[in-house]
Structure 1
């Protein structure tokens, strides 16, 4: 009967997952426990070397030393001594395979995914070997646990602590969306260049009009605003294309509306072709923003 379901190796200072077992269980309780394990990993620097946390159906154990911590999700039937013996063995294997420089320079999740094969072998060994075969190691770990018991945590407290550190008071913590934009296209770059050109023209004309308006009449104030508002809208269109923003469609429609109304208002100061150029660039930018889709990052890298 399997007692160790999942294991991962993380970097202590920031909780970055370095490697993990690829087996996956789709029960809701296990998925929730995985989420809480990731939350716990972010706080390992604040806890002693060994600790345990209990959920409804699983136990989470961690053992850390230096830059590396090993974590495991086990069944309640798994003795604590066996869990920590597994984690200690895993820690020795990982630190023997990768030096501190490699660990410190790791910049992406699961940078040492190839270590998964060793994790799988160790999991199988501890799940299927009899206690008598590792009796000496278990006795040593048991003595250490009696002399210095691991810190006991509750996963609910970890959620609360994580929420407070991030400025939230809610107990329930949802994983943050992890998205990036699709690559910029050649047409997208063209729309950015044209948009910046339109913004510069609006700014120059608006500043020039404001400087030469010694006696600012109501009509002149309107013209100045008709230059400056499209200028701001063009810059914001560039931002919307480059970066993800919530309610993107609504913002795109508003920016397009401001640019169109501003240029229609400037009829007389601009000829028809100039107005059509500015509005055409605004439509092109809007189209590029709305067609540049979000691309979800594979944060678990198949783990």
Structure 2
């Protein structure tokens, strides 16, 4: 029976999704938990290490180390030990495949979507291989969870909150400086009028020169001879 439904790898500092499993359910409840996971991914920097949020039918588990976190949506029947063992295995596979420079320079979502092949293999292994075959790995994780229990989040912690919507954080806009326009003085008006008059005179002079050149082309050629 499948207990791990969806998994993804995200960058901790900004919640950028790096890769994810491409086969997932389309029920309304599941899509709601996808939205919760997306909202939580944007705030993973607040919850270092491991954490869980449980609902009636689904639960979200995450495990982060450095700037990479692995997250999963599981059935509520999935033991936390198995979920965290799955996430740790996924983390090691991802960090072995991509170096920190590539991860840090990623600028678009799902830049490493090809890693989905590994996610599918690991997910299948944990969904269908008996626990007895993973006993040593599960015992190791169980001891770690006893020494350092995961953070327990409420459903409110995974809600689209604090202005976070559709994967975007709110922009904090600073008020623009308030510039007051000073009234124009009499001297300024006079200067403006003089500038306009000078521009008009130059325009008229240019028109007259053009007309004179057209009426007496001989002068134009004489001038060319003098300058050559």
Q: What TM-score, normalized by structure 1, do the two folds share?
A: 0.54
The equivalent of 1:239 in structure 2 is: none
Contact 2:48 2:65 in 1 (8 A): no
Give the structure 2 partner of residue 86 of structure 1.
Answer: 86
SS across alignment from 1:61: strand
* Count of aligned positions: 172
Paired residue for 2:166, among 141, 159, 175? 175
- Which residue number corresponds to residue 163 of structure 1? 161
In the alignment, the residues of structure 1 paired with residue 90 and residue 73 of structure 2 have an alpha-carbon distance, to the nearest angstrom, of: 14
Would the aligned equivalents of 1:52 and 1:153 in 2 still touch at CA under 8 Å?
yes
Per the TM alignment, residue 67 of structure 1 is displaced from its structure 2 partner at its CA by: 1.0
Describe the SS at the equivalent of 2:132: helix
Deviation at 1:54?
1.3
* Per-residue CA distance 1:103-141 (angstroms, 9 max, x = gap): 000000000000000000001010000000000100110
1:204-223 to 2 correspondences below 5 Å: 211-212=192-193
Could you tell me which residue of structure 1 aligns to residue 114 of structure 2?
114
Post-superposition offset of 1:174: 4.9
Within the alignment, does 1:52 sit opposite 2:37 as a pair?
A: no
Match of 1:41 in 2: 41
SS class of match (2:161): helix
Unaligned runs of 5+ in 2: 169-188, 194-228
Which residue is equivalent to 2:124?
124
C-alpha displacement of 1:163: 2.8
Q: Which residue of 2 aligns with 1:180?
A: none
1:254-293, Cα deviation, whole Å (9 max, x unpaired): xxxxxxxxxxxxxxxxxxxxxxxxxxxxxxxxxxxxxxxx
**CA displacement, residues 135-154 of structure 1 (integer Å, 9 cap, x when unaligned):** 01001101111111100001
Distance of 1:148 and 1:41 partners within structure 2: 21
Q: 1:58 and 1:66, CA in 2 relative to 1: closer, same or farther beyond 3 A?
A: same
Moved over 2 A (4+): 173-177
> Residue 30 of structure 1: SS of its match in structure 2?
helix
Query: What is the distance in 2 between the residues matched to 1:74 and 1:158?
Result: 15
- Deviation of residue 175 (structure 1)? 2.4
- TM-score, structure 2 as length reference: 0.72
Corresponding residue number in structure 2 for 1:265: none
| RMSD between aligned residues | 1.8
Could you tell me how far 1:24 is from its partner in structure 2? 2.0
Q: Which has the higher contact order (CA 8 A, sep 6+)?
A: 2
